[in-house]
Structure 1
Amino acid sequence: MAKPKIKFVPNKLHVKTGDTVYVISGKDKGKVGKIVKVFTKKGKVVVEGINIVTKHMKPTQMNPQGGVVEKAAPIYTSKVMLYCDKCGKPTRISKKVLDDGKKVRICKHCGEVL
């Protein structure tokens, strides 16, 4: 059996579950949403309200009605950028160690802790 072809997957992702992100490319370019789930091995994230697809579901015990269901599909992490709520724009991050030894991510534009 052939190994499935997967695009380049980074060792470490720049986003975490719960982060607010800005979509920089694709059909949902310019939208902002919150990360619901992260797939580190695939290098993808599920963002609520972004990349909505329709799926035809058969009736089951869990869903006796069946029918067409809309759900958010995964999107590559390279297509999203961290969004700073304070300055209201997408940003890159810098990392800093605080006095108490805690590592934090900082917005490059305004210097706010994300």
Structure 2
Amino acid sequence: MNKIRKGDQVVVIAGRDKGKRGTVALRVDDDHIVVEGVNVAKKHVKPNPLKGTTGGIVDKTMPIHQSNVAIYNPSTAKADRVGVKLLADGKKVRVYKSSGEEIKA
């Protein structure tokens, strides 16, 4: 079970963008995620007349390692760790470590 999923609000806790908050756009692989507005790099793009794209320098959101982000807890307005709790019916749910309340997906 991935502790950080697509659509989660996260806070960057390490690196150049420390303190920024954003939404997880996608999971690249088991360890890397793309967060909107975080780890933005300038990329040089060649023009492609067949696709109708113009060349130039564009901003591209690059992947970041999931260990450098923490899930955002709206009740405390801070970053929080994620735990896994087993319910009575056998389902696993993600919970905030600080309060134990379930994370709404």
Unaligned runs of 5+ residues in structure 1 are: 1-11
1:27 has 2:27 as partner: no
Secondary structure in structure 2 of the residue aligned to 1:78: helix
Secondary structure in structure 2 of the residue aligned to 1:17: coil
Contact 1:37 1:46 in 2 (8 A): yes
CA positional deviation for 1:27: 0.8
Separation in 1, partners of 2:73, 2:81? 9
The AA in structure 2 aligned to 1:76 is H
Unaligned runs of 5+ residues in structure 2 are: none
Give 2:46's aligned residue: 58
1:46 has 2:34 as partner: yes
**Number of residue pairs matched by the alignment:** 102
Write the mapping of 1:1-114 to structure 2, written as runs, cut at 5 A.
13-41=2-30, 43-60=31-48, 61-114=50-103
Separation in 1, partners of 2:52, 2:29? 29
CA positional deviation for 1:80: 0.8
The AA in structure 1 aligned to 2:47 is P
Identity of aligned residues (%): 41
CA positional deviation for 1:81: 1.1
Deviation >4 Å, runs of 4+:
none
Secondary structure in structure 2 of the residue aligned to 1:94: strand
Contact 1:13 1:77 in 2 (8 A): no
Q: TM-score, normalised by structure 2?
A: 0.84
CA positional deviation for 1:93: 1.8
Contact 1:37 1:45 in 2 (8 A): yes
